[in-house]
């Protein structure tokens, strides 16, 4: 073997060794496919997560509450609903009954028409005699008043006519005028009086004399002086007279 051939072989062996070493080095330093995929995944932009508002979650469906008439409702709920309805009905009935009671009470307060009552007992009737003034001018006509009050327990009828309640005017011993003089026909004037509710009857005296024999004498009692009006008749139980003056 020639020296030239020997060195060529050595060169080829060294080149082969170098190639082997290079291949081994490349194989060791070359990244694996998994590393490549991981690197690619890290380098890429992460995909945006879907927004929660973009796809709202549906609220949990609530089953509708069964109506009182629904046969599938539990017996307990049906009982409660029935009790509530009965309570409402009772309250409405009570309200209607209350208003009806008020109406009944209001109607009861309206006084019923009074029936014909019995005559008043004289001891139950108090009569007061008075005048509208104490002193009259020469041309003024006195107005006489009878104030009748029932002190009995029941409503009764009293006759305020001139015969049962005669008003007589005197001046000293001189009999001047009487409401019972020369009256004709039925002179009764019956009125119903309730306990404690006064009734007032009035008479206007024209300042002229009157006589029991109904003589046709038109005589004025225009003399100045003091005059007295007294009560006579069925209900005269010690009534005080009324005193007045004519000028």
Of all helices (H) and strands (E), which one includes residue 127? strand 125-131
Residue ranges, the chain, pLDDT below 50 = 44, 48, 50-56, 59, 62, 66-80, 82, 84, 97-101, 106
Place domain 122-246 in its CATH homologous superfamily.
Answer: Immunoglobulins (2.60.40.10)
Q: What span, in angstroms and rounded, lies between the C-alpha atoms of 218 and 68?
A: 97
Tokens encoding 54: 């973009």
Tokens encoding 7: 């060195």
Per-residue model confidence (pLDDT) at position 172: 93
Per-residue model confidence (pLDDT) at position 1: 62
pTM of the model as a whole: 0.52
Instruction: Parse the chain into domains and list their residue ranges.
Output: 122-246
Per-residue model confidence (pLDDT) at position 241: 95
Q: What span, in angstroms and rounded, lies between the C-alpha atoms of 183 and 110?
A: 40
User: Residues with Cβ < 8 Å from 127, sequence gap 6 or more?
Assistant: 146, 147, 148, 149, 165, 231, 235, 236, 237, 239
Per-residue model confidence (pLDDT) at position 129: 96
Q: What span, in angstroms and rounded, lies between the C-alpha atoms of 202 and 205?
A: 10
Strands of the sheet containing 174-178, edge to edge, are 135-136, 242-246, 225-233, 165-171, 174-178
Per-residue model confidence (pLDDT) at position 34: 57
Per-residue model confidence (pLDDT) at position 188: 87
Tokens encoding 174: 């001189």
Per-residue model confidence (pLDDT) at position 171: 94
């Amino acid at each position: 073997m020639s020296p030239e051939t020997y060195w060529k072989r050595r060169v080829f062996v060294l080149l082969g060794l170098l190639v082997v070493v290079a291949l081994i080095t490349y194989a060791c330093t070359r990244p694996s496919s998994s590393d490549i995929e991981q690197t690619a995944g890290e380098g890429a932009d992460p995909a945006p997560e879907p927004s929660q508002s973009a796809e709202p979650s549906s609220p949990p469906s609530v089953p509708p509450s069964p109506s009182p008439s629904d046969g599938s409702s539990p017996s307990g709920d049906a009982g409660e609903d029935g009790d509530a309805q009965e309570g409402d009905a009772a309250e409405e009935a009570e309200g209607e009954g209350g208003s009806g009671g008020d109406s009944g009470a209001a109607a009861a307060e309206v006084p019923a028409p009074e029936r014909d009552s019995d005559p008043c007992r004289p001891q139950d009737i108090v009569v007061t005699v008075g005048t509208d003034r104490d002193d009259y001018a020469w041309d003024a006509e006195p107005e006489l008043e009878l104030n009748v009050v029932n002190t009995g327990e029941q409503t009764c009828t009293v006759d305020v006519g001139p015969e049962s309640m005669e008003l007589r005017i005197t001046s000293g011993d001189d009999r001047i005028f009487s409401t019972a003089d020369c009256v004709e026909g039925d002179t009764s004037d019956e009125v119903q009086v309730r306990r404690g509710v006064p009734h007032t009857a009035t008479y206007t005296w024209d300042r002229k004399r009157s006589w029991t024999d109904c003589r046709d004498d038109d005589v004025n009692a225009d003399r100045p002086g003091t005059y007295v009006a007294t009560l006579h008749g069925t209900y005269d139980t010690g009534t005080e007279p009324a005193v007045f003056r004519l000028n």
